[in-house]
Amino acid sequence: MNALAHRRFLKMHGAGNAIVVLDLRGSALKVGAAEARAIALHPRSTFDQLMVIHDARVAGTDAVLRIYNTDGSESGACGNGTRCVAYAMLDDPAMARPAESGRLTLETRAGLIGVKRISERSFTVDMGRPKLAWDEIPLAEPFQDTRRIELQIGPIDDPVLHSPGVVSMGNPHAIFFVERDPDGYDLARIGPMLENHPIFPERANISLAQVTGPDRIKLRVWERGAGLTLACGTAACAAMVAASRLRMIGRGATVSLPGGDLVIEWRADDHVLMTGPVALEWEDTLAPEIFAGLD
């Protein structure tokens, strides 16, 4: 029997982003790519991102996070999932450890991420500094100005989408600004082509963004390794940064996604803060049949 069988998990969402939180602290257990894919396929544990909590390795931090997409690939950061982890670590009876301040510092592949409680079911995540240089995002070839790069889909003289801004918020993002409603585009068809475009050596999250006011953005996201999603926190951060760099908005905005709103602030110290809700749907244990054939 797979060692992960019968491990307890929380099924949650952050602004509609489907999240599973799995606490492996106090054990040597790890999740592999095949196990993550298997967990995602089960109807009780399906997710956009699987947030796996491990024991902290760095003094002064609270835990290590490993983040998996539905295809088993790992993600550097997930703001919506990080808020869910904060709820689990602060409030869930089986996972909570004493933390009087309501603050956590978590180790991720993208670096240290700080989280603080705003209200019972709302948290702010410090997503760190955006990476804007072409080789940090990364892109496959140099672009001195990443506010808009040469990339389009559709006929040369009448492209469907063109000239995205590119940003890394721990994951690479391409943001196409559109004048009409993002719901009017077939992102389920366009997204996979752009995600896997050769210009993105690590693939990319693909967003359609419409600036609807001086501090409002409407956003739809095709998420790398997960597909169409109701919300993507790093995409919301990337879209706000990209719009601000083009002087379409200031340094803060409410980003509206199909699953709900996220409030994004790009502070003067270059850190991007994301504030949003979490919701607990249910708790369960990983059924042994999930892992049939993997051992």
**What is the residue extent of each domain of the chain?**
8-128+279-291, 152-270
Q: What is the pLDDT of residue 1?
A: 81
The per-type count for the chain, helices as H runs and strands as E runs, is 4, 19
Average pLDDT over residues 243-266: 97
Pick the CATH number of 152-270 from 3.40.630.40, 3.40.50.11540, 3.40.640.10, 3.10.310.10: 3.10.310.10
Residues 185-201 pLDDT 10s:
999 999 999 999 999 99
Hey, what CATH class is 8-128+279-291 in? alpha beta
In whole angstroms, what is the distance from residue 289 CA to residue 175 CA?
A: 40
Residues 61-101 pLDDT 10s:
999 999 999 999 999 999 999 999 999 999 888 887 655 57
Catalytic positions, written as ranges: 78, 232
CA neighbor of 89 nearest in space, from 78, 99, 77, 101: 99
% of the chain residues with pLDDT over 70: 98
Residue 167 has pLDDT above 90, yes or no: yes
Q: Identical fold at 8-128+279-291 and 152-270? A: yes
Average pLDDT over residues 231-239: 97
Residue 57 has pLDDT above 60, yes or no: yes
Burial of 103 (0-12, 13-18, 19+ CB in 10 A): middle
